[in-house]
Chain A
C-alpha cells in the first residue's frame, strides 16, 4: 500500500491541495483595521455614488452593535476584526482588455485551469472543441480582473459583469435589488459584508431570455492577512433562465483567512436560476493549521409565480464552513431546491444546510444533503423548513444522509420544521452510514486500491447531487472529492 499513499509531507500537501500556490504580484492593500474611514476609502476606490457609501456606513454602524453567532456546531478562536485588511488589489488601473492584464495573473488562472480567453468558434487552435463555452468573471482578492464573453452575452441582452462595474453601468438595478433578499442586518457576517464588500458578480437576464451559456465566477484569495468579501447579485426577469457556477481557491497559509460573502438571487415570474458552487478554499493542513473561514450568506427569493431557484453545492474546502443557501418561496407555485455535498477531512468543520421558507400557495421545496466526514472532522447539516400560514398545499421533501469514513469523525443533523398549516406536507428522511470494512475488502479483493475504493463509494453516495450539476462540473466535482479524500484511509 505504500505505493499509493503519500509518504512525505510535501508529497501529501501537493497531492492534497494543488491550488495552494501564491501569485507573486504587487498588491495595493489597505492597512488592517475597520473604521468609517476604511469603508469610505473602499467606496472611494470604486467611485461609488453617495447612496451606496451611506448604505455601507449604515451597515457598519449596525454591525458594530451586533455579535457573532454562536449557535453553529463549530469551534474557533475569536477573530480580531481589526487585524484584517479589508481591501487588496493588484496594483495599477483596472485593465481594459485581456492584453493589459498582468501576465503573472494570466499564468495564475491558466494554472488553475480557468479559461480567461474567449474560445474562438472558428479556427480555434488552442481550444479543445469538446470544451463547452463558459463565460467567466475572475475575482482576484478584492477586484474583478476580467469578464469574458461580455459582448456575446450583450447581444442577448444579458448583463454579466463585476459588481463594481454594475454600480456604474446599471445603478437602478443595483439600487433596487441590493439588500432586498439579504438585508444588511440579516446576520453578523452579512452586515460586515455590507459594509466592506469589494467585488463580485452581477447578472441580469432580461424577460424571456434563456442565457446562451453557463456563467461562472472564479474567486481567488491571494494576498496575505486579507479577507475576501464579495457580493453577488443575480436577477432573472420574467420567463428567463440562467445557470451560474462559482469556484473558489486560496494559497496554503498557516493563518486563517476570512471569507464572508453575500449572494442574492431574485427570480421573477416563470424565471429559473440554477446556482452551483464548487468550493475548494484551502482547508488547512492535516493538523488543522490555517485554512479559510467560509462564513457566507446565500439566499434566493422566488418572487414571481412559478419561479424556480436551485442551489447545488459541493463543499470540500475551508477550515470552517458556515453556510445555508436558502430560498424564500414567495410566488405561488414556485419551487426551491437545495442539493449539497459537504466533505470534511482532517480537522475541517462544516455546519451547512438550508432554509426553505414557504409563503406562496402550492410551493414546493426539495432538500438533498450528503455529508461525508473523514479524519477528525465534524460535519453538521442544519436545515429549516418553514410553512407560513398562507402557504396552502405547500410541500417539502428532505433527505439527509451522512457517510462516515473512519472512527474519529463526527456527523450531526439538526433539522427544524415549523409548520403553521395543517395541509402542509413535510417529509424528512435521514440516514447515517459508514464506509464499512466489508465494502472496502470487497473492492480490494476485486483489485481496486483502497483510496480508489473509498472515492468510488463516496461518489456513489453523492450521485443524486452530482446529477444536478452541469455535466462538465460534475466531472470536476467528482475529481475534487477524490483529491480531498487523499489520506482518508490508511
Chain B
C-alpha cells in the first residue's frame, strides 16, 4: 500500500478551481519533488493535504496509509503521520520553541496512549537533536520564529519535522530564500529524517536543493494538474528550459 495517495483531486478556493484532477502516489522510502511555475497550485496541494481551512475538496480522494484524510481535522491528520513544513512559518511571540515542541510532541504521545515525557528527558533529547543539526542551542529558548531570520525559520521547520517523526513530510518551498550554508543544513536535516519507512514530498522552484536531496520522482504541476513526471533528470531539464515547453502540452 502506498503511503500517500492523491487521486483525481479537485480543489476550490473561494470560487476558483485551483486543482483539477491531481494524481500522486508516494511509497515508503521515496522522495518526490513537485515543481511548477508560480500559481500552478503547488501550495494549494500541500495545504489541502494538511487540511487548511478554505481549501475545499470538490472531488477526489486523499489517503495517508489507507486512512481517508478529507474528513479529518488538521490535528488528526498530524496524528495520522502527516507533516507540513510551511512556506511562511508564522511567529508565536512569548511561546518558546522548547515549549511549543514539547506541547506538540506530548499531544502526539497522548494520542498514542503514551505518557508525556518529563521536561528533563525532553530537553535532553532536544539538545542532542539540535547539536546533530548544527543549530545553536539558544534556538530552543527563543519564542517560536520570533524575530528569526528567513533561514532560521526554515531550519525550525526541519527541527519540528525531526521531532514529530511523521510518515509523510510535505516541504513547501523550504529551500526558498536560503543561503548556501542554510541550504546545506536543511538538506542534512531532510537526509537525516528519511528512511525506508517514511516519505518526503518537496515542493520547490529550484534544482539546487535537489543536488543535496536527490528525488526518486519529479512531477511538474501546471494549471492545476500534473502534466509530466520523471526521474531526477527532469528537474535538470526544467532548470535549463523552463516550463514553456510543457505549457503547450497542457493547453486547454
Binding site for B on A (CB under 8 A): 1, 436-439, 441-450, 452, 456-457, 459-464
Contact = CB atoms under 8 A, between A and B. Distances in A.
A92 B103 CA distance: 51
Given A457-B95, A460-B94, A462-B94, A442 B86 contact: yes
B95 A460 contact: yes
Nearest to B111: A447
Q: Which of A444, A446, A461 has the most CB of B within 10 A?
A: A446
A136 to B, nearest CB: 30
Given A1-B73, A442-B86, A463-B94, A448 B103 contact: yes
A448 B95 contact: no
A456 B92 CA distance: 9
B108 A447 contact: yes
Contact of A447 (B86, B89, B104, B144): B104
29 contacts: A1-B73, A437-B53, A438-B90, A441-B52, A441-B53, A441-B74, A442-B90, A443-B104, A444-B78, A445-B50, A445-B78, A445-B86, A446-B104, A447-B79, A447-B107, A447-B164, A448-B75, A448-B107, A450-B75, A452-B103, A456-B92, A459-B94, A460-B92, A460-B94, A460-B143, A460-B144, A462-B94, A463-B94, A464-B94
B92 A445 contact: no
Contacts of A461: 93-94
Interface string B97-110: 00110011001100
Nearest to B47: A441
A439 B146 CA distance: 12
A456 B100 contact: yes
Interface string B142-171: 011000000000000000100010000000
A438 B53 CA distance: 10
B11 interface: no
A463 B146 CA distance: 14
Contacts of A1: 73
A439 B104 contact: no
Contacts of B53: 437, 441
Given A445-B78, A447-B79, A460 B93 contact: yes
B84 A445 contact: yes
A446 B78 contact: yes
Given A444-B73, A447-B75, 10 more contacts: A442-B90, A442-B92, A445-B77, A446-B104, A447-B107, A447-B164, A456-B99, A459-B94, A460-B144, A461-B94
Contacts of B89: 442
Contacts of A441: 50, 52-53, 74
Interface in B94-143: 94-95, 99-100, 103-104, 107-108, 111, 143
Interface of B: 50-53, 73-75, 77-79, 83-84, 86, 88-95, 99-100, 103-104, 107-108, 111, 143-144, 160, 164
Contacts of B77: 445
A459 B99 CA distance: 11
B231 to A, nearest CB: 30
A399 to B, nearest CB: 13
A449 B75 contact: yes
Contacts of B107: 446-449, 452
A260 B77 CA distance: 50
Contacts of B50: 441, 445
Nearest to A444: B74
Nearest to A446: B104
Nearest to B89: A442
A466 B119 CA distance: 20
A457 to B, nearest CB: 6
A5 B51 CA distance: 20
Contact of B90 (A436, A447, A448, A464): A436
A381 to B, nearest CB: 18
A438 B52 CA distance: 9
Nearest to B160: A446
Nearest to A1: B73
Contacts of B73: 1, 444
A209 B51 CA distance: 60
A444 B94 contact: no
Contacts of B92: 439, 442-443, 456-457, 460
A447 B161 CA distance: 12
A405 to B, nearest CB: 14
Nearest to A439: B90
Nearest to A442: B90
A1 B75 CA distance: 9
Nearest to B85: A445
Nearest to A401: B93
A446 B143 contact: no
A55 B165 CA distance: 70
Given A441-B52, A442-B89, A460-B143, A448 B94 contact: no
Contacts of A443: 92, 100, 104
A125 to B, nearest CB: 27
A436 B90 CA distance: 9
Nearest to A456: B95
A457 B100 CA distance: 10
Nearest to B103: A448
Nearest to B54: A437
B75 to A, nearest CB: 5
B168 to A, nearest CB: 13
Contact of B103 (A438, A456, A464): A456
Nearest to B91: A439
Contacts of B75: 444-445, 447-450
Nearest to B83: A445
A463 B143 CA distance: 11
B119 to A, nearest CB: 14
Nearest to A403: B93
A439 B86 CA distance: 11
Nearest to A2: B73
Contacts of B103: 448, 452, 456
A446 B164 contact: yes
Contacts of B93: 460-461
A397 to B, nearest CB: 18
| Residue among B50, B86, B92, B108 with most chain A CB within 10 A | B92
B159 to A, nearest CB: 11
Nearest to A461: B94
Given A460-B94, A461-B93, A462-B94, A448 B104 contact: yes
Nearest to B104: A446
Given A441-B52, A446-B160, A447-B164, A459 B95 contact: yes
A377 to B, nearest CB: 21
A437 B74 CA distance: 12
